Structure 1
């Protein structure tokens, strides 16, 4: 009985990091950057509300990883103070109605938008 318990204690840490995947059921670790981060959906939702249009009318043009110099995400508001820490996130470019809009994000929130002049 003791031997079985010891073996289980040795085996469990080895297999606990394994991820089982099946077609249509993909599981990823939270330490992995998602290919299409949820903040893109947040940016689309925000832009749809601002422009009073459906999210289906908004298209993702580009997303790229970016390390922001502070927690303002590159859009500091006058009079506010921001933690001076490298903040990983994304630059998100969306298109709606022939115009492009730039959002900045970390992994939980978005800032912006700034319309990109043609």
Structure 2
């Protein structure tokens, strides 16, 4: 009986020690916890909003124009020199699909900075949406 009582006291002592406060204080993180990325969803497309005037939209702009021109020239089988840049504008797209919904494709619902690039070939204008680096380009105008 003494052994059983001693075992119970020992077990309770271990449990209490395990539940007690740590001997040394733990450090408190100084940066806020990162938020999980949103689950993809098919929300209605909102119009992109122009970037704040205080931001510098020049970084990535050249790549956005060059990659858009290259993509359009390839799609239409013309020389890239025939593709004229009409305008380029820094925008914030409402989703990861750069504001272009494609049936069957789910987009992240996160504001995505990028560019709206308007190009022209033979009098017809084509609109491209790009990411901030200009590495992802999506044709917004049907080729028909």
Alignment TM-score, normalising by the size of structure 1: 0.66
After the TM superposition, which residues 29-44 of structure 1 pair with which residues of structure 2 at under 5 Å, given as runs?
A: 32-34=56-58, 36-44=61-69
Q: Is residue 83 of structure 2 the alignment partner of residue 58 of structure 1?
A: yes
Displacement, 1:86? 0.3
User: SS of the residue aligned with 2:141?
Assistant: strand
Offset at residue 32 of structure 1 (A): 4.8
Which residue, 122, 126, 129 being the options, matches 1:101?
126
Q: How many residues align?
A: 86
- CA gap of 1:50–1:105, structure 2 versus 1, over 3 A, is same
Determine if contact 1:94/1:101 at 8 Å carries over to the other structure: yes
Q: Say which structure, 1 or 2, has more relative contact order (CA 8 Å, 6+ apart).
A: 2
2:137 matched to which residue of 1?
A: 110
1:90 aligns with 2:130: no
Q: Which has the larger radius of gyration?
A: 2
Q: What's the C-alpha RMSD, in Å, of the aligned pairs?
A: 2.0
Other-structure match for 1:9:
none
Gaps of 5+ in 1: 1-30
Give CA-to-partner distance per residue, 1:2-22, whole Å, 9 cap, x none.
xxxxxxxxxxxxxxxxxxxxx
Give 1:9-88 correspondences, 5 Å limit: 32-34=56-58, 36-88=61-113
2:15 alignment partner in structure 1: none
Maintained 8 Å contact 2:88/2:115: yes
CA positional deviation for 1:115: 5.0
